[in-house]
Amino acid sequence: MILRIQNGHIIDPANGIDRIADLWVRDGVIAAIGESDCGPADQTIDAGGCIVCPGLIDMHVHLREPGQEWKEDIASGSRAAVAGGVTSMCCMPNTGPHIDHAGIALQIIARAKQVGLCNVYPIGAVTKNLDGKELTEMRELSRAGCVAFSDDGMPIWHAGVMRKSLEYAASFGFMIIQHAEEKMLTGNGAINEGWVSTQLGVAGMPAVGEDSMIARDIMLAELSGARYHVAHISTKGAVELVRQARGKGLKVTTEAAPHHFALTEEAVLGYNADAKMSPPLRTEEDRLAVIEGLRDGTIDVIATDHAPHHEDDKRCGLSCAAFGIVGLETMLPLSLQLVRDQVLEMPRLLATMTCNPARLLGLKAGTLSIGAEADICIFDPEKKWTLDRKKLFSKGKNTPWHGMEMTGQVTHTIKAGQPVFSHGAIVGEAAYE
Ligand SMILES: [Zn+2]
């Protein structure tokens, strides 16, 4: 099977490729860029006017399976992923049961293969039951396919447990991903602490709740020499802490979610629960600091924190609504704004969603190298479309962008040489239901 992707603007940050050429795929792997001896193609995709890049990687996704399949499952999450150009994603362990033992990781990987649309890499829990007390068997979880460790949804709150987990992880080169939130400071807060929380009369989560835990963790990371990754960074102070740690040569990395550089706390005015997430949307100063972190390379990765919920979990008042929004299908258009605003050039932007997360997680993905598995995203960077929540492939309809115009649309997603998404529709889906 030979696939020819014709006349696209190929951008492969991993290999420094940035030119208009044909891309050839033979038997599921990248065969050639430009001239090829592949012979006639069995299938041709016209990518004129479009960008052809490695399939995107989203290293922070909540797939809800097992345990909360009414919110999302591996099949619906995979469809949302490929509709967003994502061909590899990491799923967080706050499922039911949690990904705190090898059996669950193996089950998720097997189910994702059966669905066959998107690579799914589980993130193992750091502590059993995510309760922050007793470490999981990280080595066993790693052997089962977990690519990093986190208690996301919950912080690893106990400093002693955090120290032990970092020391243990350091001896195997594992990365610990922290949901940085000092619960003693955030309490029952629902949104950012500031004038919006005061105006709405809703309890706030102060920025210092995020910053103080990151400051503590960076000291522990230095002590242990471990790889420490801050999930969904959202404050000016946190970006500065990571910048300083990296300046000292520590193995500290971080990711930003599109909502934290696209929106501020004002999006929750009117008690809008579809703009409620943790960490919350912050101030304009914080938003600009996240953007500056992306620009100067303090922030390596864009990841969505895709957190689908049922409508009932959101339509119960701002204070008690569930935290989180869906993100897989809006990651690319929202991130392209950074190119239009001249914060990042296109290759650097695409690196944050391809080779950078691949490098952090040790994934064989995020590249168009000859011989690599042909996971490819093709998108029209100028195409305008209006987001309709009812048309999302995710079961979760909780997005603050309903009815808004997006610029930039995925036209094709190719997984291991097979088109899995084409012009708005899932194709070649395995019969799994
Ligand atoms: Zn989190």
Q: What is the pLDDT of residues 114-172, one digit of tens each?
A: 999 999 999 999 999 999 999 999 999 999 999 999 999 999 999 999 999 999 999 99
- The Cα–Cα gap between 247 and 269 comes to 38
Percent of residues, the chain, with pLDDT higher than 90: 97
Q: What is the largest CA-CA distance in the chain?
A: 67
pLDDT range class, residue 429, cuts 50, 70, 90: low
Q: Please report the pLDDT score of residue 120 as a whole number.
A: 98
Structure tokens at 71: 């919110």
List pLDDT tens digits, range 303-315.
999 999 999 999 9
Give residue 423's identity as a one-letter amino acid code. H
- The Cα–Cα gap between 322 and 319 comes to 9
**Domains of the chain, CATH where assigned:** 56-361 (3.20.20.140)
Percent of residues, the chain, with pLDDT higher than 70: 99
- The Cα–Cα gap between 368 and 374 comes to 7
Cβ neighbours of residue 429 closer than 8 Å, sequence gap 6 or more: 79, 115, 116, 117, 420
Pick the catalytic residue from 305, 312, 341, 375. 305
Task: Tell me, yes or no, if 37 is annotated catalytic.
Answer: no
Instruction: Return the closest-CA partner of residue 331 out of 382, 257, 274.
Output: 257
Distance 279 CA to ligand 1 centre (A): 7
DSSP assignment of 324-377:
----TTTHHHHHHHHHHTTSS-HHHHHHTTTHHHHHHHT-S-S---TTSB--EE
Average pLDDT over residues 381-408: 98
List pLDDT tens digits, range 168-187.
999 999 999 999 999 999 99
Q: Tell me the binding residues for substrate.
A: 62-64, 94, 309, 323-324
Distance 43 CA to ligand 1 centre (A): 41
Average pLDDT over residues 32-52: 94
Distance 151 CA to ligand 1 centre (A): 8
- Mean residue pLDDT of the chain comes to 97
Q: Please report the pLDDT score of residue 126 as a whole number.
A: 98
Q: Please report the pLDDT score of residue 7 as a whole number.
A: 96
Distance 422 CA to ligand 1 centre (A): 31
Give residue 239's identity as a one-letter amino acid code. V
* Whether pLDDT at 64 is above 70: yes
Q: Please report the pLDDT score of residue 122 as a whole number.
A: 98
Q: Please report the pLDDT score of residue 38 as a whole number.
A: 85
DSSP state of 409: E
List pLDDT tens digits, range 197-206.
999 999 999 9
* Whether pLDDT at 433 is above 60: no
Helix-helix angle 236-247:207-224, to 10 degrees: 20
Average pLDDT over residues 5-10: 98
Q: Tell me the binding residues for Zn(2+).
A: 60, 62, 152, 179, 232, 305
pLDDT range class, residue 422, cuts 50, 70, 90: very high
Q: Please report the pLDDT score of residue 299 as a whole number.
A: 98
pLDDT range class, residue 428, cuts 50, 70, 90: confident
* Whether pLDDT at 210 is above 50: yes
Q: Please report the pLDDT score of residue 37 as a whole number.
A: 84
pLDDT range class, residue 353, cuts 50, 70, 90: very high
Handedness of CA 248, 257, 354, 416 (dihedral sign): positive
- The Cα–Cα gap between 172 and 141 comes to 12
Confirm if 56 and 363 have CB atoms less than 8 A apart: no
Distance 210 CA to ligand 1 centre (A): 11
Distance 172 CA to ligand 1 centre (A): 24
